[in-house]
Amino acid sequence: MALKATGVTCKCSSKNRGTFTAEVAIHFSGMEGVDRPIVWVFPQLLVCLDCGLAQFVIAERELDVLRYGIPLDDAA
């Protein structure tokens, strides 16, 4: 999912932005999150190269895991 350079709005209002690939492991917080799935996402990051603000979009499939806490069916 591509991000447009206009997507990041930061306090420094810089136009100095870069797009990078990433891998992010999202964990549910607290002790109640210990038994919940880790959600791996591989987004494109849009980063302000002056202040460091970063933005990315999570795909619907992984977003559902965050919404409902139900692991992905790897057979899908």
pLDDT band at 5 (very low <50, low <70, confident <90, very high): low
What stretches of the chain adopt beta strand conformation (E)? 17-21, 24-26, 39-41, 44-48, 54-55
What integer pLDDT is reported at residue 51 of this predicted model? Answer: 92
- For the entire predicted model, the pTM comes to 0.69
Write out pLDDT tens, residues 14-42.
889 999 999 999 998 888 888 888 899 99
Q: Is the pLDDT of residue 12 over 60?
A: yes
Question: Average per-residue pLDDT in the chain?
Answer: 84
Instruction: Outline where the chain has alpha helix (H).
Output: 60-68
CA angle 75–36–34, rounded 5-degree value = 140
What integer pLDDT is reported at residue 23 of this predicted model? Answer: 96
